[in-house]
Amino acid sequence: MLDFYRNEWHGSFNGTEEELSLLLSRAADAVNNTIIMRGYTVDSVPEILKQPVCKAVCAQADYIESQGGVESLTEGSYSSVTLGRFSYSDGTQNGAVSASGGSLCILAKEYLESTGLLYRGVAVY
């Protein structure tokens, strides 16, 4: 995935190789959480789906980086809180869309839409 990020995606991350590897791993986790219901992971998708899935991982990695990096995934900040009848929301979406089992940025979701991996209906065999 490192080679794809640097040579095909032409990502702009300028940290160390180790930091990029961690970033791509977390991005792959988000994509895996979204496509696992179809029986695939980022590493096991058929070859015909490999490029859009890799692009989704790279888009998600760039999104995570733009939101504060891997550390931002565990900071625990909340955009909305409800306590009894009191509710607070800061009203920001940050370009993310909620997906079952995770949250993907809009661009990553767009790359996955054409693959059929986001379909949550009943598979007929």
Q: Each residue's pLDDT tens digit in the chain (125 positions)? A: 999 999 999 998 999 999 999 999 999 999 999 998 778 999 999 999 999 999 999 999 999 999 887 776 665 555 666 666 666 666 555 444 433 334 799 999 999 999 989 876 665 65
Is the CB of residue 28 less than 8 Å from the CB of residue 2? no
Residue 29, both tokens:
């986790």
Which residue, 27, 29, 24, is CA-closest to 3? Answer: 24
Q: Which long-range contacts (CB under 8 A, 24 or more apart) does 72-78 make?
A: 73/26
The DSSP code for 10 is -
- Residue 86, SS3 per DSSP: strand
